[in-house]
Amino acid sequence: MSGNEEGEVVAAGEEEREEDEAPLGGEEEVEEGVGEEGEGEGGGEGEGEGGGDGEGEEDEVSGDVSAEVDELAGEGGAGGHALAADGLGFDEVPDTGEVAEIVLVTTSLGSIKKQFFSSLRMRNFLDCKGVVYIIIDSNRDTSSAKNLKDVELFKEWKANGMLKAVETDENRDPEVIIPQLLVDGVVVGDETTLQDLEEDGDLDWIFSRAACPACLHEKSPSAISCESCGATFRSLIPPDYITEGCVLQMLQGCPYNEEEIEGEEKEPKERWAACQSFSGGDVDLGDFDDFGGEEGEEKKEEGEG
């Protein structure tokens, strides 16, 4: 093959190689274009997010919580007011100056352990709340031994259907749930219900006569019935039963009506009573240093002699 022919073959090969590399260059250009578009989108998103953050930083919290709550309540309209009026934790418990009549129906009979220990827990709960409540013990033996009217009141309330009961058998009377709490003559419920009301912040409303014990609707302390559910509020314990000590009132684990019956303030007892001979100052204790060493022993012997 001559030199001219070899040159033509080499030139043809280079042209074919350039044609093969041309699409690769196009792909690189396409990739560069995609990269530029991605950077453009990223910049746009960054600017958008940055702008959003800037606007968010302008809306700072004022720090006045009460004003913000009032503003939210105003935006909520009637629905927000209804929630606050129901005493579901939006407002503080109003100081009505009233304390409801709280009656706890319990049992001191230890043979039914579930009722017995549940009664103890409810008593402990009310003691921790620091409210005055009346205990009605359904155990006949305890009531007669303490000369109380508990069993009489329990039977009367049961006959009138004022206590919450469950039907166990068709041939038997409904069984009264023990323990259970009554406030102003309305059944509140058992231990579980009491704990739920406390966790929701509704129990203080009930005890202050600011909410109905049956439906939790806001009410006046002097109302005799609920406008929402129609529950009737009444006193279950006659006043003379309290003054004569026929029922047991409790406050933080101690009998409360004993102080009202006696009407006397007991002086606080001192833990250590002072000896009369020392309190008058008639005895000279001397100096304990005088009894040190040999001289002290001689003085001690002379004193004993």
Considering only CA atoms, which of 205, 222, 235 is closest in space to residue 95? 205
pLDDT in tens, 98-118: 789 999 999 999 889 999 999
Q: Distance between CA atoms of 56 and 48, rounded to whole angstroms?
A: 12
**Two tokens, residue 26:** 């196009």
pLDDT in tens, 144-163: 888 899 999 999 999 999 99
CB burial of residue 166 (10 Å; 0-12, 13-18, 19+): exposed
Confidence (pTM): 0.56
| 117 lies in some domain | yes
Can you give the residue range of the structural domain that contains 231?
102-262
* pLDDT (mean) for 177-192: 95
| 138 lies in some domain | yes
pLDDT at 3: 52
Structural domains in the chain (count): 1
* Position 279 pLDDT exceeds 60: no
Q: Domain containing 144 — which CATH number?
A: 3.40.30.10
Peptide bond into 179 cis (omega under 30): yes
Grouping H, G, I as helix, E, B as strand and the rest as coil, residue 183 is strand
Between residues 143 and 261, which one has the greater pLDDT?
A: 143
pLDDT at 148: 92
Which residue spans within 24-131 are E strands per DSSP?
A: 102-106
Backbone φ and ψ for 277, nearest 5 degrees, come out as -65, -30
| 196 lies in some domain | yes
pLDDT over 70 for what percent of the chain? 51
Which 8-state DSSP code applies to residue 138? Answer: -
Considering only CA atoms, which of 155, 164, 204 is closest in space to residue 186? 164
Q: Give the relative orientation of helices 113-129 and 191-200 as an angle to the nearest 10 degrees.
A: 30
Between residues 253 and 269, which one has the greater pLDDT?
A: 253
Split at pLDDT 50, 70, 90, the class of 138 is: very high
* pLDDT (mean) for 281-299: 54
Which residue spans within 76-163 are E strands per DSSP?
A: 102-106, 132-137
pLDDT in tens, 8-24: 655 565 665 655 555 44
| 174 lies in some domain | yes
pLDDT at 166: 87
| 73 lies in some domain | no
Characterise 247 by phi-psi region: left (phi > 0), alpha (psi -120 to 50), beta (else). Answer: beta
| 27 lies in some domain | no
| 89 lies in some domain | no
Considering only CA atoms, which of 198, 169, 168, 194 is closest in space to residue 180? 194
Split at pLDDT 50, 70, 90, the class of 174 is: confident
* pLDDT (mean) for 62-68: 54
CA angle 61–65–66, rounded 5-degree value: 140
| 202 lies in some domain | yes
In total, the chain counts a number of residues equal to: 305
Split at pLDDT 50, 70, 90, the class of 173 is: confident
> 215 with 228: CB under 8 angstroms?
yes
Residues contacting 15, CB < 8 A, separation 6+: none
Average pLDDT in the chain: 72
